[in-house]
Structure 1
Amino acid sequence: MLKAIVIDDEEKSLKTLVMILKEYCPGIEVVSEARNALEGIREINIHKPDLVFLDIEMPNGSGFEMLESLPDRNFDVIFVTAYNHYALKAIKCNASDYIIKPVDVQELVECVDKVIKRRETHSKEAPDMEKLLKSIRGKRPARLAVPTIDGTEFISIRDIIRIEAERSYCIIYMTGNRKLLLSRSLSDIEASLDKDMFFRAHKSHLVNLEHIKKHVRFDGGYIIMDDESKVVLSRRKREEFLEVMNIMTGGGKEENG
């Protein structure tokens, strides 16, 4: 049986998760609970858990900050949070999984079973980050509302290739050579989109990571999209962009040229 600690500042969420674990996960023993990062560190040091269920946004430090203070951890981490825009950062922290609240019992059971199986076989293999990323993406809002003259058009997020700021409005470039005008700032649109799917390549451009075809290092650096359009990549964004693409492609190397 694996020893587990649940760390969440929301009392109702914490108690619900503990109840679900006790009822549906017989291979897990919840040995302690914590309501913030400081309590979490203390309980981890006392109980030496095998698995930690961790919220992200908490008082006295985030879940990420808590993990950074425990660099030599030998326990698995499953993030349980109401926000899906921390997914890439969770992956960089080598999370075993990432669950969006409200917790789905079947999803939780499957996450726990994967951890138990890996630990029972003493596998040192890292979690499948590509599958984890795809799973997280499946939980995002699927459409963006765009006001039109005669109403509102609900466009599929996946159909957006890039979004370009143009003075007081933005142009949304989509698959099928479609374009839409939206009277909102790029920053406003960016805030409503999944940060694990869209990347701010430049102050005037948001690109859909799933529609990136190639990164060219020459001529100052730019991105070629699926529709063959070219988007300038800001120098200060280059390292972050390459890191994100490295995670998305499972560590693949970029092409020369």
Structure 2
Amino acid sequence: MIRAIIIDDEPAMQEVNSQLLSEYFPNIKLVGTADCIKTGINLIHKKKPDLVLLDIQLSDGSGFQLLQKLPSYNFKVVFITAFDSFAIKAIKFSAIDYILKPVNEIEFQQAIQRAIALIEKKEHTESQVNVLMDSFKKELQNKKLVLRTQNSMHIVDISDIHFCKSDNSYTTFYLDNNEKILVSKSLKDYEGILKEYGFFRPHQSFLVNLNHIKKVDKTDHGFLIMKNKKEIPISTRQKKNLIDLLDRL
């Protein structure tokens, strides 16, 4: 019996994939589900699965980051993703299977069947995963974002963004060398794009690059001190999530 787990932050997707496994693959036993990097890693250590259905975009980071936090593993991975050209390109470069949201039953069956074949042949996939991680890291290092203002189009390195600040339907980007760029899009428009690249929303008005945090002040409500010496508030609701996330870096 093949032991499988599902790591996805959408309960509906957990249910869909669980039902498809049960319907089409009676030789696969679902031994658990998780919804983030932390619970996913704990579940992997506890259940020691043969197969992991792993969502790329989790609430506290990416499925790629989850794999990077594991010192070693011998399970097979099938990624689950909404359409994301970068993620799919990285996966295709490594010839690792993925399931596209919304789930197509035939494609689901094909991806799982290929994973079963690898498990049964005891075929190692470390080299494929290494190619995937290299592609992922290179994409992060070189990733740029286009910011359109009223008069200009700015092309910025994501790594140069310290934080973003919301002002209703506008967002100000704070960059290296104290540069600021104001764009006429909401912070929510950028949160989904930047979350995959190490950004976190500690407060409804701010989105911060975790790589530019210098210090976390935990007194009272608490606030962040960035490397550019700016102070960012932390909401009570997000304080524990942020500290947990930083502990895992």
TM tier, smaller: 0.5 to 0.7
Aligned to 1:209: 210
Whose helix fraction is larger, Structure 1's or Structure 2's?
Answer: 2
| 2:61 maps to 1:88 | yes
The structure with the largest alpha-carbon Rg is 1
| 2:126 maps to 1:114 | yes
How has the CA–CA distance of structure 1 residues 98 and 48 changed in structure 2, closer, same or farther, with 3 Å as cutoff? closer
Query: Counterpart of 1:194 in 2: which secondary structure?
Result: helix
Aligned to 2:247: 246
**What is the alpha-carbon distance in structure 2 between the residues aligned to residue 152 and residue 197 of structure 1?**
24
Question: Which residues in structure 2 correspond to 1:1-257 (within 5 Å)?
Answer: 36-41=17-22, 46-47=27-28, 64=35, 73-79=47-53, 83-84=56-57, 88=61, 90=63, 100-102=87-89, 103-104=91-92, 106=94, 108=96, 112-114=124-126, 136=136, 138-139=138-139, 142-195=143-196, 197-248=198-249
Query: Counterpart of 1:75 in 2: which secondary structure?
Result: coil
How has the CA–CA distance of structure 1 residues 163 and 133 changed in structure 2, closer, same or farther, with 3 Å as cutoff? farther
How has the CA–CA distance of structure 1 residues 133 and 87 changed in structure 2, closer, same or farther, with 3 Å as cutoff? farther
Gaps of 5+ in 1: 8-34, 50-61, 116-131, 249-257
Q: Deviations over 1:66-105 (max 9, x none)?
A: x89x886332445566x54567364669875686425335
How has the CA–CA distance of structure 1 residues 246 and 189 changed in structure 2, closer, same or farther, with 3 Å as cutoff? same
How has the CA–CA distance of structure 1 residues 227 and 75 changed in structure 2, closer, same or farther, with 3 Å as cutoff? same
**What is the Cα-based RMSD across aligned positions, in Å?**
4.5
Query: Counterpart of 1:36 in 2: which secondary structure?
Result: helix
Measure how far apart 1:182 and its partner are: 0.9
TM-score scaled by length of structure 1: 0.56
Q: Is the 8 A contact 1:198 1:207 kept in 2?
A: yes
Q: Is the 8 A contact 2:160 2:175 kept in 1?
A: yes
TM-score scaled by length of structure 2: 0.57
Measure how far apart 1:204 and its partner are: 0.8
How many residues were matched structurally?
189
Gaps of 5+ in 2: 7-15, 80-86, 98-122
Query: Counterpart of 1:163 in 2: which secondary structure?
Result: strand
